[in-house]
Amino acid sequence: MNRITQLFVVVLGTIVIGFTANAQLTVTGGDLVVPDDRVGIGTATPETLLHVEGVNNTLILARGNTQGNSVLIQARNMSSGDAGIMVRNGSGFWSAGIDGTNWTIRDTSDLQDGPKSELRIKPTVDSTDSMMVYARSYNSDRAGFVATGTGSAFAFGTDNGQFAIKDNSDLKDGAGSELRMKAGGGGTDGIAVTARSHTSRMAAYVVHGTDGYWASGVDGTNYRIKNTSDIKDGASNELTIKPSTGAGDSIGVTARSSNSDMAAFIVRGTGGYWAAGIDGNSYQIKDVSDLKDGANNQLVIKPSTGGSDSMMVTARSLNSNQAGFVARGTGQSFAFGNDNGTFVIKDTSDIMDGPGNALSIKRSVSSNDSIGVTARAHGGSSAGFVVRSTAGNWVTGIKADGNFHIANGNDIKDGGIEKMTVTTNGRVGIGTNNPGAELDVVGEVRSSLDGYFGHFQLRNSGNRAMIQNNSGSNLVEINDNFRVDGTLRIGGGASAASDALQIDNGSIRLSDSYQIQWGNSLTQIKGSNNNFLRFFTNSNTDPRMVIQGSLVGIGTTDPTSHLDVDGEARIRQLPADDSLDSIVVADANGVLHSRTLASVAAMGAQGPQGEPGAAGAQGAQGKQGPAGQDASSDCVACSEVETVAFEAVCEIFEGDVTNFTEITNCVTVIANLILINADVCAPNETDCLAAILGNVQDLIDSKTP
């Protein structure tokens, strides 16, 4: 052989063992080479401390050769999916290695042995795969991990189909404080997570962030969520769920704020927030992310506090004049609420929906305004109200004929003859829905005034109308003639001579002195031999009207003119005549005089203007003024002068335009001021002023209720 210088050679058949000059041990035939401190089996160039190579199996032992390098032991099996290391002592075997792609530790002498208790690590194989570590118990329904510290141990793993975390050193140990998760069994089965406290009636979960704690769990029989580090801590902001304890008991959910008078639940979706809870002593629901946020769309329930206080439910719309409630059933929706100052009930799904069958209640806005209740039928010509009791039904409303009806029934549209009908032309029918007169009664008419006039009834028998007493005797009979059974006396005196009016045997007699009186506090009409007629109220010293000869006195008992009025006077519907040039004025004593328009127009000039006052705050925008003057003409229409004068008077008197004299004087002054520099188109200034003054009464009438 051609070899380097050898110090020692041993020949054993085909195997040659020797040391080379550099102290290398070489075994030829067995492929054992020991160069320096490395041992190579099946390779002449070992790369590690122990390097074994063959066709299939390989074991490599490498030491760290630089700082930070690890020692590597590698066992490789080229022909099997298992490659492992076995450790044995007097109690048994454990094998550890690769089983397929998993790292496995198994209580066997070889990884290829069948299922046993084992710990397995499964690697990730792609970007969406996860790394798994699992322990399997071959002969028990428990398999777990144990974490032991100096103070205590925790065991966690599967315990008979549930994942459990216990404060003990083995899952098989008895009852202890624990956390359990029950796997879903399929179908309608759910996953349950259970925390159990072995020595306390409290058991909770605690979540800790950089800003604080939240503890949630069972406290006695209640479930609570608190902003504390332990469920046993005292009063704090919390959510409590109280279970029902019996058939009649309810489940209560309570949110409590320990440092605020507000406590709420928040629900959030992709479209927005809703906060619901207590604000002060009211329950509110708002479309905000916190109940403390300002005014917004909301529902408020105010509790009664006792006595005469009521419970209130309020829906408020922040950015709309409509706010309502909706009641929806399987067949129909009804919306009811505030629609721009009117309470409305509609057969729609929203108060803002268009016309529909509706009931409206209009609120009063001033002292003399009335509240209106309106029923409107959107899809029909009939609309009515129905009053129903166990005894029967009544319906009132408008039918297709436009008349108002009162009838027995369930609906105003039902047929039949109504009990009472009021037509659009003012006729009233009782027992007929087509009255032929202002009052048309089909049937008997009876009136009973017992104790004063006795009893009488009005009957229609054949072609006769009769007034009978309670014994059935005719007192008055109307046929072709009018007949009174006895003497018709008016006055009620002790004898016929003292009657004010007596009709007897075809004669009518008035006494020399007569009186018509409706009561001590009502109007009296008296006559006397002095040939005058007086109207009194309350007493003879309080006359209202006196006619004495050719003199008429109103408010006075001593008229001195053909018409003497002590007080205000009103004349309506005077005929207009633009050809006249005189007006009527009153002197200081109230006596009327005629005055020409020319003399009125010649009134003295206006005095010098006083010093201007300080500018006031800007007022609200006024009404739109009248149309401007035609640029093609320099004249002003008399109607424009009248409009300006009347509007000024209404502003001066603040709407109280009942005093004809004061209004006339004021209109005269203002109109003259306007006409000083105005060129009236037609008529001229004098005729225009007369026309304006002739319309003063119309102005008063239009402003007087």
Please enumerate in sequence order all residues whose Cβ is within 8 A of that of 568, keeping only pairs 6 or more positions apart, or say none: 659, 660, 661
Q: Kindly report, residue by residue over 156-179, the tens digit of the pLDDT.
A: 888 888 888 888 888 888 777 888
Q: Kindly report, residue by residue over 324-360, the tens digit of the pLDDT.
A: 888 888 888 888 888 888 888 888 888 888 777 888 8
Whole-model pTM: value is 0.38
Instruction: Report which of residues 522 and 379 the model is more confident about.
Output: 379
Cβ atoms 286, 275 nearer than 8 A = yes
Q: Kindly report, residue by residue over 103-114, the tens digit of the pLDDT.
A: 888 888 888 887
3-state secondary structure 68-106: CCCCEEEEEECCCCEEEEEEEECCEEEEEEEECCEEEEE
Q: Kindly report, residue by residue over 659-690, the tens digit of the pLDDT.
A: 778 788 777 777 777 776 677 776 566 677 78
Please enumerate in sequence order all residues whose Cβ is within 8 A of that of 551, keeping only pairs 6 or more positions apart, or say none: 559, 560, 561, 562, 564
- pLDDT bracket for residue 534 (50, 70, 90): low
**Which pairs with CB-CB distance under 8 Å and at least 24 residues apart come from 577-584?**
578/683, 578/687, 578/690, 578/691, 580/690, 581/686, 581/690, 583/690, 583/693
Bridge partners (DSSP) listed for residue 488: 503
Mean pLDDT of the chain: 75
Bridge partners (DSSP) listed for residue 148: 153
Domain ranges across the chain: 1-79, 142-196, 203-258, 260-318, 320-362, 518-565, 582-603+631-703
pLDDT given at position 423: 92
* Angle subtended at Cα 121 by Cα 117 and Cα 123, rounded to the nearest 5 degrees: 150
Q: Kindly report, residue by residue over 31-52, the tens digit of the pLDDT.
A: 666 666 677 777 777 777 777 7
Q: Which pair of structure tokens corresponds to residue 78?
A: 């080229």
pLDDT given at position 111: 81
- pLDDT bracket for residue 617 (50, 70, 90): low
SS3 content of the chain, % helix, strand, coil (to 5): 10, 40, 50
DSSP-assigned letter for residue 589: T
Determine the average pLDDT of the residues in 564-572: 77
Helices 638-652 and 660-676 pack at an angle, to 10 degrees, of: 130
